[in-house]
Amino acid sequence: MSAVRCYIGLGSNLGDPLANLHSAIAHLAASPGITLRGVSRFYTSKPMGPQDQPDYVNAVAALDTELGAHAVLQVLFSVERAHGRVRDAALRWGARTLDLDLLLYGNARIADADLCVPHPGICERSFVVLPLLELMPGGVLPNGKAVRDCREALACDDLYPLR
């Protein structure tokens, strides 16, 4: 299998969010079958859902991998667990030490019980679109929509760059 470019959304709002994201990126880069190709700037954003939690720090990472999409998802879960993340469906919009989402896996479209790629919220979340645009300025989603068009549809005034 040849390498596939994928994009990972990263978020954290518990503990030391900056350290959590840096550590997660290092874990991903050290994972067998994965080559880190780039990381966007880090941004702070208001949480989705309940507002009685700390602001998030978000970024997007570009990876090349020879792993299948479901294997990449398992790597993401492993990195989350290493950072103290416990997935609980009842706390879907709650605070977390680390949240890793497989946003794009090449041009694949996957929809099964375990994985939905492209991530269904890409174009609705400024904390995903703006960093994604940094990494793929001329990028087009598998549905044919340009990432730049997603950006133009969002205010993105709720994001503040950290670096």
Active site residue 85: yes
CA 42 to chain centre: 12
Catalytic residue among 41, 85, 92, 109: 85
Active site residue 112: no
Active site residue 101: yes
Active site residue 99: yes
Catalytic residue among 101, 157, 158, 163: 101
- Distance separating alpha carbons of residues 71 and 62, to the nearest angstrom: 16
Residue 39 vs residues 26, 28, 52, 131, 156: alpha-carbon distances, Å:
11, 11, 29, 8, 19
Catalytic residue among 5, 87, 96, 148: 96
- Distance separating alpha carbons of residues 101 and 125, to the nearest angstrom: 13
Catalytic residue among 55, 99, 151, 157: 99
Burial of 115 (0-12, 13-18, 19+ CB in 10 A): middle
- Distance separating alpha carbons of residues 60 and 65, to the nearest angstrom: 16
- Distance separating alpha carbons of residues 101 and 14, to the nearest angstrom: 17
**Which helix (DSSP H) or strand (DSSP E) does residue 152 occupy?**
helix 147-152
Q: Could you list the active site residues?
A: 85, 96, 99, 101
